A and B are shown apart, each in its own frame.
Chain A
Amino acid sequence: MADKEYDIIIVGSGAGGGMATYQLANAGLTVALVEAGGYYDPAADEQRTQLRNPWESPRRGASTRRRPFGDYNACIGGWDLDGEPYTQKGDTEFMWWRGRMLGGRTNHWGRISLRFGPLDFKRRDIDGLGENWPIGYEDVKPYYDKVDKLIGVFGSNEGLYNDPDGFFLPAPKPRLHELYYIDGARKLNVPVYPARKSMLTKRINDERGVCYYCGQCSRACSIHADFSSSTALIYPALRGGRVDLYTNSMVREVITDARGKATGVSYINKEDKKEYALKGRIVVLAASACSSARILLNSKSAHHVNGLGNSSGHVGRYLHDSTGASRAAFLPELMNRDIYNEDGVGGMHVYTPWWLENAALDFPRGYHLEIGGGMGMPSYGFGFAANQYNEYLDKRVGGYGNGLRDDIRRFYGARLSIACRGESVPQFDNYCELDPTVVDEWGIPVLRFNYQWTDYEINQAKHMQDSMEALLEASGGILLGDKPGAERNYGLAKPGEIIHEVGTTRMGLNPKTSVTNEFGQLHDANNVFVVDAGTFVSQADKNPTWTILALSWRASDYIVEQMKQQNI
C-alpha cells in the first residue's frame, strides 16, 4: 500500500478523526486512517472489561499508572505514557492525556454531549476577553442536528437559549440521590434538567444495541450502545471498503513539497520500529489538540520554517482546558438503604447547566454541575474509612469485627457529590511548544507546556465551592472534607486534568492571529486540515466532543465541496 496515493490521510481516530473518516469515505474518497494505538473493539471478549466482577482483576479495579481511571476503564493511554514524555516550563503543572487506541478517548469518556450555545461562539462580544469564533451557532446548528440523529444522544428540550434543544432520545429516570439533588436545587432556585449524554436509551439503527443499564460506559460498551468513534463511525466506515486502517502508527510529520503543499505523512510503525510514508492529496489532522500541534511544529521545511501552518507563530498558543472542582456530602436520609439495581447509564442522569449568565460576578465565564452518587459496584477503595460518617452520629469511628459489616451496609450509597466543569479564558501565554532537547522513544521532539491559571479561573473555582456547598446542604447533605481555600486555588483542578484541552490551532479570519480558517483548513497550506479541538477559539462551559463531531462533519463537507471544485 506504500505506493498508493490516498485522497485523504487522517491522523487520529477519536471523535474528529472518526467523523472525518466516516464522512469522507462515504463521499467516495479513499482514506488512510492512521492511529498511534492498536485496534480496539469492546465487543471482542478479549478486549472486554464491561460486566466483569471486581475479583476478576487481581487489584479489584484499582487504578494503575497505565489505567488512571481504574483497572477496568477502557482507556489505553493516560497522562503518563511509556516512552512518550512531555516537559514543563517553570512551575507549570500541565497534565497531558493521550489515548492510544482505535477510537481514542471516545472509548472511555463520560459521554456528556452538550451543544455550545450562541453565546459560546461570541464570548468576546460579551466580556471583551479572548476572541470570537469566526462562526456562530447558526453555522454549526445543522451539524449538531445531524450528529444527534446519526450518533444518538438522550436529553430533553428545555428551550434554553445558550443550551440549545436537540434531536434527543428520551432520558433515563433520576436515581434516588438525584431526586434529593433535584429537591435541593429547586429550594435554591437552581435549575436542574435531565443530563444530555450519548447513550442509546432507544434504538437508532439496526447496527447498535440499546442500553441495558449496567452503568459502565467508561469500560466501553460491548453492544455499542454508547458512542465511541470506533463503534459508531469507524467500523461502519471500514465496512465500506474505502478505508485502510494503519494502527500502531505514530505520525512524525506532515511531508510538504517545494510549494509548501502537503504530499503525505511519515510515521513510525511501532511494531517493527521502522519509518514509513503515506502519500495523500489531503492531510486531515485529528490527533488531539496538542498532538496535532506537535505534528505541525515538527513538520518543518524550507517553506514552513517554524513548522507547518505556523507562520503566525500561533500553533500551540491559546491552549486551554476546562476548569474543574468537586465536593461531596454524606446524606443521612440515605442511610440503611433498600438495595436494588440502580446502575442506570454510566454517570449522572441529571445535571445543572450554567444558570447565572447575567449575574454580576468577579469572573467572566460559567460552569455546569455534574451530579454523582448511588449504590455503585464495590471495587478497590470500597470500604476505605468504612464508618467515617459515625462522627456525625455520635458513634465511634474505627474498630474491628463483624460490626463493620453493619457500618458498610448502613452507609452504602449514602453519598452525594458534585463536580463542576467550567470555561477558562484562553491566554496567548498558555501554550505548548517543542522542547529543544527532549525526544520520545522514536526520536521525535516532545512538547513542553507553559500554562498558568489566571484570577478568572481561580475566582470561578471559589464560586464553584460556594455553589457546591449550598447545593449539597440544601439536598440534606453533611459536607465532607475541608473546603479548599485560596492556598489550594479553591480546589481548582490542574490544567489538563479535566482532559478538555483545546485551542492550539485556533480558527479565525486573520492568518496573523489564527492557524486555520473556519473549516479547519490551514491558512498556510490549503490541503491540510485540523478537525480536532485544536481549532476551538474558546472552550465553553460544555464538554467539547459534540462540537468536535459537528465541526469535523462541517469540515468534511467543505473538503468534498472544495475537491469537487478542484480548489484542493
Chain B
Amino acid sequence: MSEPSETKHPIDRRDVLKALMLAPVSGAMLASTGCAVVSESNKQPITWTRLPTQYSYARTDVEKQRDAELFAETFFREHELVTIAVLCDIILPSDHENGGALAAGLPDFVEFMAKDREQHKLPLRGGIAWIDNYSLENFGSRFVEADIEQQLAICDAIAYPDVQDEALQPGIAFFSLMRNMTLTGYYTTELGFRDLGYVGNTPNIWDGVPDAVLARHGKSYDAQWLAKCVDQSRRNITAEWDDEMNLIT
C-alpha cells in the first residue's frame, strides 16, 4: 500500500462541477433547507445545499441541549466531507428533475447523523480512509482527486455486495453505508417526497383502496366486512348504541 500523501496529480473536475451548478434547486427546497454555499478541498470546489442548524419541534430541554451540542461539534475534516459529497453525488446524481443528493444537502445530513449515532463515526471515517488508500494504490491519487472515470471504476468495484473479493469487503461495507445514508437522507426531504410521489401526512378521509387499484390487484371488499366499516358520511353524527351493542347512529 502506498502512503496517503498530498495529491501530486490534481484532476480537473470542471465537468463535474458544471453538472453540479446546473442542478435544479427549487424555491421550495431553498425555503426548507437553506441556501447553497461552496466548500473547498484541494482547490476542488463542490457545492451542496446547506441544511439548517436550528430546529423547533417539540423537544424537551435535555433534547434541545443535546442537539445544540451536536450542532456545535464538527466531526468530519473538510477532506472527509468533500469525499462524502462526491460519493453522495455519484449515488444520487444531480442531473435529475427532482434534484440529487447535493441539492438535498446530504453532506450536512451525514455529518449530523455521524454525530447523533456514534456507531456511524468510525465506519464513515475509516471508509473514507479505505477508499483513499484504494484510489492511491490504483490511480495514484486520493478519491476526490481521481478523475470521474477512475472514481466510477472504484465505485463499480465496491457498489455490489455480491462481490466475493475479500480485499474489497471493507469498501463494499462502506459503500453500502453511504448508499443507505444517501437514499434515506434524500427521500426524507421535499425533493425525495416529490421523487417518490408521496402523498400522505395530511388530514384526509380514508375510505378504502381506490376501485381501480382493487381491480388491478384482483381484490375486493366483501359485503360482510364492509358492513362493519365506517360510513364516512356519518362520521360526525355522535355515536349511540342500543342495549344489544348495535350502533344505531
Give the interface of A toward B (CB within 8 A). Answer: 38, 46-49, 51-62, 64, 66-67, 72, 76, 82, 149, 152, 154, 156-157, 165-176, 179-180, 182-183, 194, 201-205, 210, 212-216, 333, 337-345, 375-386, 396-402, 404-405, 408-409, 412
Q: What's the least CB distance linking B91 to chain A, in Å?
A: 5
Contact yes or no, B58 A385, CB < 8 A: no
Q: Are B212 and A338 in contact (CB under 8 A)?
A: yes
A173 touches B116 (CB 8 A): no
A339:B199 contact, CB within 8 angstroms: yes
Query: Could you tell me if A398 and B162 are in contact, using CB atoms closer than 8 angstroms?
Result: yes
Known: A201-B235, A378-B196, A404-B91. A51 touches B201 (CB 8 A): yes
Are A405 and B205 touching (Cβ within 8 A)?
A: no
CA distance A214 to B113 in the complex (A): 27
**From residue B55, how far is it (CB to closest CB) to chain A in Å?**
5
- Please tell me if the beta carbons of A202 and B234 are within 8 angstroms of each other in the complex: yes
Closest residue on chain A to residue B206 by CB atoms: A213
| Given A62-B116, A203-B238, A386-B183, CB of A399 within 8 Å of CB of B209 | no
Q: Which of B173-217 contact A (CB under 8 A)?
A: 175-176, 179-180, 182-190, 192-193, 195-210, 212-214, 216-217
- Sampled A-B contacts (14; CB under 8 Å): A55-B190, A60-B109, A64-B66, A176-B217, A210-B236, A212-B204, A341-B199, A342-B200, A380-B113, A383-B180, A383-B186, A386-B180, A396-B160, A409-B197
In the assembled complex, the CB of B24 is this many whole angstroms from the nearest CB of chain A, namely 14
In the complex the two chains form, what is the Cα distance from A389 to B57 in whole Å?
35
The residue that A339 contacts in the complex, of B71, B116, B196, with Cβ under 8 A, is B196
> In the bound complex, do residue B91 and residue A409 qualify as a contact, i.e. CB atoms below 8 Å apart?
no
A400 CB, nearest partner CB in chain B, Å: 5
Q: A176-B213, A179-B209 are in contact. Are A378 and B198 (CB under 8 A)?
A: yes
Q: How long is the Cα–Cα vector from A213 to B232 in the complex, in angstroms?
A: 12
Q: How far is the CB of B43 from chain A (nearest CB, A)?
A: 26
Report B-chain residues with C-beta under 8 Å of the C-beta of A383. Answer: 180, 182-184, 186-187
Question: B228 at the A/B interface (Cβ < 8 Å)?
Answer: yes
Minimum Cβ distance to chain B for residue A298 (Å): 25
Determine whether the beta carbon of B203 is less than 8 Å from that of A214: yes
Q: Is the CB of B217 within 8 A of A66?
A: no
Contact between A215 and B200 (Cβ–Cβ < 8 Å)?
yes
A514–B247 Cα distance when bound, in Å, is 40
Contact A382 B236 (CB under 8 A): no
Minimum Cβ distance to chain B for residue A148 (Å): 9
A156-B228, A204-B239, A377-B198 are contacts. A344–B206 as well, Cβ < 8 Å? yes
On chain B, the residues within 8 Å of A76 by CB distance are 60
Whether B237 is near chain A, meaning CB under 8 Å from some CB there, is yes
User: Known contacts being A157-B245, A175-B209, A340-B213, is A183 close to B219, with CB within 8 Å?
Assistant: yes
CA of A379 to CA of B113, assembled, Å: 13
Please state if B236 and A49 are interface contacts (CB–CB under 8 Å): no
> Given known contacts A58-B55, A194-B229, A408-B196, is B245 in contact with A382 (CB within 8 Å)?
no
* Complexed CA–CA distance, A343 and B204 (Å): 9
Tell me the interface secondary structure of chain A in the complex.
Answer: loop
Known: A47-B58, A378-B198, A380-B184. A402 touches B116 (CB 8 A): no
Complex alpha-carbon distance, A412 and B193, angstroms: 12
Would you call B235 and A338 a contact (CB within 8 A)?
A: no
Is B159 touching A51 in the complex (CB atoms < 8 A)?
Answer: no
* Whole-angstrom distance between the Cβ of A82 and the nearest chain B Cβ: 7
Q: A156-B228, A384-B183 are in contact. Are A203 and B235 (CB under 8 A)?
A: yes
Known: A170-B228, A382-B188. A396 touches B196 (CB 8 A): no
Q: Is the CB of A58 within 8 A of B235?
A: no
Q: Are A382 and B162 in contact (CB under 8 A)?
A: no
Q: Chain B 82-118 against A: per-residue CB contact (8 Å), 1 yes, 0 no?
A: 0000000011110110100000000001001100110
With A51-B202, A55-B188, A60-B185 as known contacts, state yes or no: A398 contacts B229, CB within 8 Å: no
Query: Once the chains bind, are A169 and B239 in contact (CB under 8 Å)?
Result: yes
Smallest CB gap from B112: residue in A: A58
| B51 in the interface (beta carbon within 8 A) | yes
Closest A-B pairs by Cβ, 8 of them: A383-B183, A173-B208, A54-B188, A212-B203, A170-B230, A60-B188, A398-B160, A156-B228
Q: How far is the CB of A93 from chain B (nearest CB, A)?
A: 20
Residue of B nearest to A55 (CB): B189
Contacts of B189 in A (CB 8 A): 54-55
Contacts of B219 in A (CB 8 A): 176, 179-180, 183
With a cutoff of 8 Å between Cβ atoms, the chain B residues found around residue A404 in the complex are 91-92, 179, 183
- Nearest residue in B to A37 (C-beta to C-beta)? B60
Residues of A within 8 A of B71 (CB): 58
User: In the complex, which of the residues A59, A175, A337, A381 has the most CB atoms of chain B within 10 Å of its own CB atom?
Assistant: A59
Does B184 lie within 8 Å of A173, measured CB to CB? no
Please, how many angstroms separate the alpha-carbon atoms of A204 and B241 in the complex? 11
B246 to chain A, nearest CB (A): 8
CB neighbours of A342 from chain B (8 A): 200, 206, 209
A338-B212, A341-B204 are contacts. A149–B33 as well, Cβ < 8 Å?
no
Among A38, A337, A399, point to the contact of B159 (Cβ < 8 A).
Answer: A399
Q: Is the CB of A56 within 8 A of B55?
A: yes
Q: How far is the CA of A343 from the CA of B202 in the complex (A)?
A: 9
Add 6 more A-B contacts to A51-B201, A396-B160 (CB < 8 A): A179-B209, A204-B238, A214-B200, A382-B183, A386-B180, A398-B176
Complexed CA–CA distance, A182 and B153 (Å) = 48
A380 to B117, CA, bound (A): 12
**Nearest chain B residue, comparing its CB with the CB of A345:** B206
CA distance A174 to B207 in the complex (A): 9
Our pick among B63, B113, B162 for the contact of A66 (Cβ within 8 Å) is: B63
Proximity bits, B156-170, A CB within 8 Å = 1, else 0: 000111100000000
Contact present for B200 and A375 (CB under 8 Å):
yes
